[in-house]
Chains A and B, each alone.
Chain A
Amino acid sequence: KAGVTQTPRYLIKTRGQQVTLSCSPISGHRSVSWYQQTPGQGLQFLFEYFSETQRNKGNFPGRFSGRQFSNSRSEMNVSTLELGDSALYLCASSSAQGPFDYGYTFGSGTRLTVV
């Protein structure tokens, strides 16, 4: 079974630009969550999508958005990049549909550097 695929692996952008990151979940997984990981803040929840609907949202500004397609692939977009957006962005898929689940499977992440 293929794992969670995130593209690109590395990205360097300039302040003010926008960026789109992509995530392909494990086949059959309908839940996709995004996390931002930084040394200072740890893993911060961005949002979760299930069947093309955003089910949960973290405390990030509106510059961070996402979407999920009918094939469960997800994208997240960050507009008007700031230096503080430099981080490892992790996508995680899960088959969870209720109170019991089998944990996230994380992708390798996209390391975004804003200069």
Chain B
Amino acid sequence: GQQVMQIPQYQHVQEGEDFTTYCNSSTTLSNIQWYKQRPGGHPVFLIQLVKSGEVKKQKRLTFQFGEAKKNSSLHITATQTTDVGTYFCAGRRSSGTYKYIFGTGTRLKVLA
């Protein structure tokens, strides 16, 4: 079945350093979404990417969707302690089905 892997599983960074998490799907995706889950909280929607090669920015966060629509990345510039949490990608294989497969997540810890 469809699998979505994320690397790394964990990342510790010093405050101010950059951070990147990568998402890889075993199948071509219709679109991909990114979520952030703070410790003890629930996932919160960040953004959706639909087009091949699409790049979107939200302040210090940059999201990319691969040309083949099988991978994606989230890059955070100059991390802050508020960036702590687990980042998940979620991919949908077909636009005709509303079933998202979540990646394994990357847990980010920011050291002040």
Contact = CB atoms under 8 A, between A and B. Distances in A.
Nearest to A108: B42
A24 interface: no
Interface string B31-45: 101010000011111
A100 B95 CA distance: 8
Most buried by B among A43, A45, A102, A108: A43
A-side interface mostly: strand
Contacts of A44: 102
A53 to B, nearest CB: 12
Contacts of B102: 35, 42-45
Contacts of B90: 43, 104
Contacts of A42: 88, 102-105
B99 to A, nearest CB: 4
A92 B99 CA distance: 12
A108 B43 CA distance: 9
How many chain B residues sit at the interface, stated as a range, is 20 to 34
Given A43-B102, A94-B98, A99-B95, A109 B42 contact: yes
Contacts of B100: 33, 45, 104
B42 A106 contact: yes
A44 B104 CA distance: 10
Interface residues of A, number: 29
Given A90-B43, A103-B33, A104-B43, A50 B48 contact: no
A96 B98 contact: yes
Nearest to A98: B95
A86 to B, nearest CB: 17
A42 to B, nearest CB: 5
Given A96-B98, A106-B43, A107-B42, 12 more contacts: A31-B98, A42-B103, A44-B102, A45-B100, A45-B102, A50-B98, A56-B99, A100-B50, A102-B48, A103-B33, A104-B33, A109-B42
8 contacts: A33-B98, A43-B88, A45-B101, A50-B98, A99-B31, A103-B45, A106-B43, A107-B42
